[in-house]
Structure formats: structure tokens, C-alpha cells
Amino acid sequence: MIRRARDEDWEGARELWREADELHASIAPAYFRRASRGPDEWRTLLVAPEAAVFVAEDAAAAGLTGVVSARVYETPPDPAMVPLRRGHVELLVVARAARRRGVGRGLMAEVAAWARRQGAAELVLTVWDGNAAAEAFYERLGYRALSRVLHAKL
């Protein structure tokens, strides 16, 4: 079952969030570290008017099997950019034991429907280099590369 997240989902969401944080820290340690997140961050996200959080819940597994968070935003005011309202997926994580069972697909469908209701014309997200499984998942859903971010040590 996929539903809008609630305050009491924090404990289950924290475990899923930790999985994502650990993965990011392992593939991009110059940018990410293992973090200790608190319930205030969760509560702030739940009440942000431009944001939404959805969870996948499995009664048989007795807990959350996935979480997705997103925000909507307007194109920055730049005369060279086409004005457009977009949704941005900030986090999607599915518990390891629940992967390849449609949980991620269901969460992405739910967040896309929410973004459309908010007036978004498209949904964008970031996949960090080295996260081949996520890249393949999003490509199966029809997502394509829009840009590449390059960096150089100074």
C-alpha cells in the first residue's frame, strides 16, 4: 500500500533514509557522509507546502518498504530559460528485501501523480555516478539523461 507519509512513520523512514545515506557516502565520499538524521527534519519535510512524502507499507513485512520525497519548483528567473513548473524527486529508497517487487515503480507513479496535481509539467531527479542500479531503474521508467555535472579538484 502506498500512502502519504505521517509523523509516526519517522522510525521506519529513518532506517530507509539511512540506507540511501550510506549508499551515497560509499559512491561519493567527497560529497556525502553517513549522517544522523532527526525527527525534526522529517516533520519539516512533511509540512512543507511545496513538498510531498509518500511511503510504501507492507503489512506482512510489518513496516515501511519504501519512501519517496519530492518538491515542486518554478524555473529560475532567467530570460534564456523556458518557464516551467517541475517536480524534483529528492529521495527514493526501497528496502533491500523489497526491491524488484514494484515498490519503487509504485512510489514513482504516486509522486508523479502528485506533481501533476501541483501543476508540474515534468519530473526530474539526480542519480549519482556509480549508482548503476538506480540508473537502470529510472531508465526502465522512461527517464533519460538531461545534463551531466562535471567537477575538477582544485
Q: Give the C-alpha separation, 93 to 131, whole Å.
A: 12
The residue-averaged pLDDT of 46-50 equals: 94
Predicted confidence at residue 35, as pLDDT, reads 76
Task: Quote the DSSP letter at residue 118.
Answer: T
Asked whether the predicted pLDDT for residue 60 surpasses 80, the reply is no
Q: Kindly report the CATH number that applies to the domain delimited by 2-140.
A: 3.40.630.30
pLDDT confidence of 6, banded at 50, 70, 90? very high
17 CB-near residues (< 8 Å, 6+ apart): 37, 67, 91, 93
Where exactly are the structural domains of the chain? 2-140
Asked whether the predicted pLDDT for residue 62 surpasses 80, the reply is no
Asked whether the predicted pLDDT for residue 30 surpasses 80, the reply is yes
How many CA within 13 A on the CB side of residue 125?
A: 24
123/153: higher pLDDT: 123
